[in-house]
Amino acid sequence: MKGIITVFLLASVMISGSALARPDWMKDSISNLEKELTGKYGAEQSARLVKGMDQVAGFWREEDGDAEVFEEFVRVNFAGDEKTLDDLFNRWEFLLESIYGHMNEIRMAMGRYADLDIGPMYAIDRVTASYSASAHIADDFFSNKLAFTVLLNFPLTTLEERLTDGEGWTRRQWADVRLAQWFSRRVPSSVNLELAKASAASDQYIADYNIWMHHLLNDKGERLFPPKMRLLSHWNLRDQIKADYGNSEGGLERQRMIQKVMERIVDQTIPEIVVNNPHVDWNPYSNEVWPAGVNDSDSEPPAGMKVSGDREPDTRYSIWFNTFKASTLVDKYSPTAPTLIARRFNEEREIPEEQVENMLVQVCSSPLVKQISEMAKKKLGRDLEPFDIWYNGFRSMGKYSEPELDKVARGKYPTAKDFEKDIERMLVALDFPADRAEYLAGKILVEPARGSGHAAGSGMCSAPARLRTRVGEEGMDYKGFNIAVHEMGHNVEQVLSLCDVDYYVLQGVPNVAFTEAFAFVFQGNDIMLLELEQDKGGRAEAMSTINDFWMTVEIGAVSLIDMKAWRWMYEHPDATPAEFKAAVILFSKEVWNTYFADIFGKKDVTILAVYSHMVHSFLYLPDYAIGHMIAFQVKEQMREAGNIGVEFERMAIAGRIAPDLWMKNATGKRVSADALIEATERALKELD
């Protein structure tokens, strides 16, 4: 998942720029050129010519040249007829795929040893992972005036124009708009490098944030988890809570212990020495630390290791705040979207912030949450506890327990390459025609991830999409398989929306929430893909809908915390990590108390703030929540059509047009939470 975020963020950064004060001569030059070139190319070119010159003027700096240079540039580079304009467009299509495709391959190579679990990581690997070979491209393209050739000939648009007028545009008009957006800001390479460093540092911090579970002790001195179990925060900790619902002996105590670990991570009372360290034992309740009573790792304790209970010194919030500081460096070069918040919602998601927040609140505040929580309480046979926000008993796993699923997954996929070899079969099982399954599988490379896993698109059709997934020493367990199937959904979308879309500049989907939607569709069929019996029928479908709603509520609440945190950072740009930590804890309590305190019978819970995406993903979390809503709309369309693969491909090749327009073309309806809420209401009535 994160790979998609990084690629998208990198692209949006590299293509950026800023409007500055115009020199006094600019107005006269534009007026003179309009008369001259309108006479040459015809009056019908006047409006496009004036708009193009105005766009260039908005980015022109003193070092770009005087009036004579500006006027000569416009005379030489304005495409005054359709054939010349088409030729210019086609050249940029070729150049962008070549440049950014190869730059993406360089980025993958530079981050290889930091991203992949292929041996120890050295200091050099952290440096190479933070290096950005593409950081100077934006500077170069403005310095040599290549960027200005686009701004002179293709239209920059506002979000309002794209949302109101876009439905009437042709595919080529959309492509023209997206091409111009590649140069909608002008950010110096030094800023791009700082962003790359902040992103790499946060990636590495999260990728190394493992808890060795066998070294957790309860108040009786008991070890509740098996040897060698190493869980990454937050993904694996959350998923272990889900897995332990199937553990009738000790599962509840294990879940309570994980909740305490999460709380320690959020408030930073976790002892620094226990993070990714199998050589100490830790009681998360008393917060005491001792030298490990057992050694279940393949390494010996570092020489001279001193066992201390000193807490992690707000590192989590320092790393997170540094991503904010790096993001603000772009602000002054982005006059139409002067905050990361505005860039995320208005330019990347193309769904206004207020609209997204209203959708999240609509789901979290729905009375359906209370009804479904009562179902969970009844199924569990006890009062709900805070960690039950991750209750997964609505979606039937059939007759299989988590250990049984682990055994099947490990047997099928002892290595990452074994998963890669099975992709073609899984795609056929998902209704992709055999020839398309072979084609898609041949474009996906599976590699063992150091972190939880992610999908990384290629940037050019001649290179593979990469699926990174964690594979343990005993093979891929069920949690790993579930994540890998999710990432496979990303990869299939990445291949189709790059290689099969009509224009390179329309590659991808409207925003990353849409690629999450595709991934959720795959992930929802994971039991079937293991070649096991998956529940079907009216009741199973109703329960699946309820599960979708419950997951959307949970991630929606997390998203609201993320949004509050970024607003606070912009309001308090000089805050300390400790002050920021206090704010995040306050927001997590506020969101919990607003939507869940009455349901779970406990106030001031902070565990929703444990999500690692908050630290390293630059306000990405709302895309998950929107993705669940979009996934439901997409899934319903696939169900009605009776074919996942064919519908998946039809939707994916629509490319990156406006979100509502994409969804209307795909399903006949616009992006909304209404469909999920209405279907959940029907599901509850059906179960009654």
pLDDT band for 656, please (50, 70, 90 cuts): very high
Is the pLDDT at 2 greater than 50, yes or no?
no
Average pLDDT, the chain: 91
CA dist., res. 494 & res. 489, Å (int)? 9
Percent of the chain with pLDDT over 70: 96
Q: Is the separation of the CB atoms in 587 and 607 below 8 Å? A: no
Q: Are strands 453-456 and 465-469 parallel, antiparallel or unpaired?
A: antiparallel
> Tokens standing for 520?
């959720």
Count of C-beta atoms within a 10 Å radius of residue 122: 11
CA dist., res. 350 & res. 343, Å (int)? 9
- Taking only the tens place, the pLDDT of each residue in 244-299 is 998 888 999 999 999 999 999 999 999 999 999 999 999 999 999 999 999 888 88
CA dist., res. 364 & res. 681, Å (int)? 14
Amino acid identity for residue 374 in this structure:
E
Is the pLDDT at 682 greater than 50, yes or no?
yes
Percent of the chain with pLDDT over 90: 73
* Closest alpha carbon to 479 in 363, 360, 536, 397: 397
- Taking only the tens place, the pLDDT of each residue in 148-174 is 999 999 999 988 899 899 999 999 999
- Taking only the tens place, the pLDDT of each residue in 469-493 is 888 889 999 989 999 999 999 999 9
Per-residue pLDDT at 586: 98
Give strand pairing partners of 444.
465
Q: Where are the domains of the chain?
A: 2-205, 209-312, 402-529
**Residue 532 φ/ψ, nearest 5 degrees:** -115, 165
Q: Are strands 210-212 and 453-456 parallel, antiparallel or unpaired?
A: unpaired
Per-residue pLDDT at 612: 95
Cβ burial 87-114 (10 Å sphere, 16+ → b, else e): ebbeebbeebbebbbbbbbebbebbebb
Q: Is the separation of the CB atoms in 241 and 369 below 8 Å? A: no
Amino acid identity for residue 212 in this structure:
W
H or E element at residue 345? none
Is the pLDDT at 516 greater than 50, yes or no?
yes
- Asked if the peptide bond before residue 628 counts as cis, ω within 30 degrees of 0, the response is no
Lowest mean pLDDT among 31-35, 630-634, 666-670: 630-634
pLDDT band for 18, please (50, 70, 90 cuts): very low
* Closest alpha carbon to 154 in 39, 15, 346: 15
Per-residue pLDDT at 8: 33
DSSP H helices, 42-145, are: 46-59, 67-77, 82-110, 112-115, 123-130, 137-143
CA dist., res. 350 & res. 566, Å (int)? 18
Lowest mean pLDDT among 35-39, 300-304, 658-662: 300-304
Q: Is the separation of the CB atoms in 245 and 385 below 8 Å? A: no
Q: Is the separation of the CB atoms in 615 and 205 below 8 Å? A: yes
Per-residue pLDDT at 145: 97
CA dist., res. 151 & res. 125, Å (int)? 38
Per-residue pLDDT at 20: 57
CA dist., res. 546 & res. 549, Å (int)? 5
Average pLDDT of the segment spanning 498-513: 93
Per-residue pLDDT at 535: 67
Is the pLDDT at 19 greater than 90, yes or no?
no
* Closest alpha carbon to 211 in 113, 278, 285: 278
Q: Is the separation of the CB atoms in 180 and 154 below 8 Å? A: yes
Is the pLDDT at 310 greater than 90, yes or no?
yes
**Residue 164 φ/ψ, nearest 5 degrees:** -95, -35
More confident residue, 524 or 418: 418
Per-residue pLDDT at 398: 64
